[in-house]
């Protein structure tokens, strides 16, 4: 229950950062391997409650929240339809991840968003690519498509062989956790190239400021096993 148990350093990252003329400490918090049997509120209370201070902000990875909601699926159990196999070949893969670039993640997008929406997004996205405009597919397909994480070798096992959907009702989840621990809470989708804020307990929290503080992903991108973190301004 002590800080020595829960707080860990990340040797690959500098946990202090300067942003907008202020200095912040980002504190990664190590947990057990989270599963669908866990309640995310209980996980936060167990590992973070004794570490937080009144002016802190808690941030949680979207994958940890989604897993507790039962939104993680073994790749081997996903049977892609022919359309998913065809569409996945047209997805641009980036260093941030495979996105919908494999049949299994595309299949989950078809299930989450509906066939017509994905086909429309693919059509308009394909036309825009001809004119050098990228990223339109995900803007049209929306949050449910863009938040799907595919299997990657550096992800903590067993989720290196899973497809994980985005969390449901992320703002509501943040509010529930915030009510329990007494500080603002955000759900983040971070990678080593940047990230997005998916949910906030308080709309006064500014996405650009949060992403500026977290831009180098202090939780890491592989097997650090740190799905929680604290943002603390250093006076």
- Give, for all 235 residues of the chain, the pLDDT tens digit: 334 445 665 666 789 999 999 999 999 999 999 999 999 999 999 999 999 999 999 999 999 999 999 999 999 999 999 999 999 988 876 656 678 999 999 999 999 999 999 999 999 999 998 999 988 998 999 989 999 999 988 888 999 999 999 999 999 999 999 999 999 999 999 876 568 999 999 988 999 999 999 988 898 766 678 999 999 999 8
Strands (E), 8-51: 16-19, 22-29
Domain 3-71+166-234 classification at class level: alpha beta
The model scores a pTM over 0.95:
no
Any alpha helices (H) in 69-214, and if so which ranges? 82-88, 103-113, 115-130, 136-141, 143-146, 170-181, 207-214
Strands 16-19 and 22-29: antiparallel
* Residue ranges matching CATH 3.30.1330.100 in the chain: 3-71+166-234
The confidence score (pLDDT) of residue 95 equals 59
pLDDT of residue 127: 94
* pLDDT for res 62: 95
Tokens 């994480």, located at residue: 149
Q: Dmax of the chain from CA atoms?
A: 57
Closest CA to 166 of 62, 60, 78: 62
């Amino acid at each position: 229950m002590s800080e020595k148990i829960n707080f860990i350093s990340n040797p690959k990252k500098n946990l202090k950062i300067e942003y907008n003329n202020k200095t912040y400490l980002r504190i990664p918090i190590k947990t057990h391997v989270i599963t669908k049997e866990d309640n995310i509120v209980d996980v936060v209370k167990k590992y973070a409650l004794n570490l937080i201070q009144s002016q802190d902000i808690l941030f949680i990875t979207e994958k940890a929240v989604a897993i507790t909601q039962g939104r993680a699926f073994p790749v081997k159990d996903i049977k892609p339809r022919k359309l998913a196999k065809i569409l996945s070949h047209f997805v641009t893969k980036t260093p941030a991840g495979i996105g919908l670039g494999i049949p299994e993640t595309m299949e989950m997008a078809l299930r989450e968003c509906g066939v017509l929406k994905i086909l429309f997004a693919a059509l308009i996205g394909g036309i825009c690519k001809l004119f050098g405009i990228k990223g339109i597919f995900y803007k049209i397909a929306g949050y449910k498509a863009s938040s799907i994480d595919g299997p990657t070798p550096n992800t903590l096992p067993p989720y290196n062989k899973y497809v994980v959907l985005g969390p449901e009702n992320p703002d509501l989840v943040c509010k529930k956790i915030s009510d329990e621990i007494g500080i603002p809470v955000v759900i983040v989708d971070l990678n080593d190239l940047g990230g997005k804020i998916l949910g906030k307990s308080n709309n006064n929290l500014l996405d650009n400021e949060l992403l500026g503080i977290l831009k180098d992903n202090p939780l890491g991108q592989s097997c650090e096993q740190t799905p929680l973190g604290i943002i603390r301004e250093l006076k």
